[in-house]
Amino acid sequence: MAWLGQPVLIEELLFKTQHGIVDQALHARMGAEPTNGDGFGIGWYGTGKGPAVYRSVAPAWGDANLRDLAAHVESPLFLVHVRAAIGSPVQQTNCHPFRHGSWLFVHNGYIGGFRQMRRDLMLAVDPDLFGDFLGSTDTEVVFALALTYGLQHDPIDALAATVGLIESTARRHGVRDAVQGTFCCSDGESLWAVRYATTGPARSLFASVDADSIRRLHPDNPRLQQLHPEDRVVVSEPFSDLPGVWHEIPESSAVTVGRGGLFEQRRFEPAGVVA
């Protein structure tokens, strides 16, 4: 889940929203995992230098500190992730978001056959970044690869190259269905998100449609009336069933979300896949 828009108390979206992400941690409806109780993380931009990250191995629904932080931190851009561990240990360093300089990165999904491809993938990481690994998830490696391929210059292209490398490596190892999920990153100014799976369907991804339309569609909803024109939410699973509020990002797509309501969507495909 990601927010880009007017500064809001994080709790507005985390706890005061119907079927928000903390509620989804207990009862996801669309994810492959109905329970996401293996830790969580939140990264935000605001006061201080670069993004802040708070990560915990506790389930999001029971973490007293999260409620306090969410009620006392205001941010114009933040990412929240709840985790269902698939194979790797429950530890803070395996919780998303991952951070590098001013960048944050989250992944909802998995890299199939990661155990066998791990060495090859880590070898492809910029050696200067190799010493920074703190945990043992596939996502930390994906992020390091994306940084290696220029995430800080062109996030979508870097993710295309990263996914391409993973697909090539998977073919070499005989791994099928190597990539599954949605990826999202930010530099504090914009958000980039990708929805992709080697073999579909990919994990779901939605963006709120432009705020004006939402306000017109729901004149009687006070919360939606407070939306600014440039506010945008990107989520794995819609908060509510309100018609017209959510736009589903198609599979094999990348979106760029920016200030002023900017929303660009384009086709995403892995780059440089070697058969």
Task: Determine the 3-state secondary structure of 195 from DSSP.
Answer: strand
Q: What is the DSSP letter of 240?
A: S
The only residue of 2, 21, 22, 57 in contact with a copy of itself, by rule CB under 8 A: 57
Rule CB under 8 A: say whether 85 interacts with a copy of itself: yes
Rule CB under 8 A: say whether 167 interacts with a copy of itself: no
Q: How far is the CB of 242 from a copy of itself (least distance, A)?
A: 25
Site for a copy of itself in 196-255 (CB under 8 A): none
Strand partners, 79: 2, 43
Site for a copy of itself in 8-37 (CB under 8 A): 9, 26-27, 34-35, 37
DSSP assignment of 72-130 equals: H-EEEEEEEEE---SSS---GGGSSPEEETTEEEEEEEEETTHHHHHHHHHHTS-HHHH
Task: Determine the 3-state secondary structure of 189 from DSSP.
Answer: coil
Strand partners, 42: 54, 80
User: How many residues make contact with a copy of itself (CB under 8 A)?
Assistant: 51
Q: Please identify, using beta-carbon distances, which residue of 216 and 223 lies nearer to a copy of itself.
A: 223
Q: In what order do the strands lie in the sheet with 2-9?
A: 52-56, 40-45, 74-82, 2-9, 232-235, 206-208, 246-248
Here's the x/- map for a copy of itself, 114-153, by CB under 8 A: it reads as: xxx-xx--xx---x--xxxxxxx-----------------
Asked if 238 and 205 count as a contact pair (C-beta separation under 8 A), the reply is no
Q: Please identify, using beta-carbon distances, which residue of 43 and 246 lies nearer to a copy of itself.
A: 43
Rule CB under 8 A: say whether 77 interacts with a copy of itself: no
Strand partners, 184: 106, 193
Rule CB under 8 A: say whether 101 interacts with a copy of itself: no
Rule CB under 8 A: say whether 86 interacts with a copy of itself: no
Binding site for a copy of itself (CB under 8 A): 9, 26-27, 34-35, 37-38, 44, 46-49, 52-59, 62, 64-65, 68-69, 71-74, 85, 88-93, 114-116, 118-119, 122-123, 127, 130-136
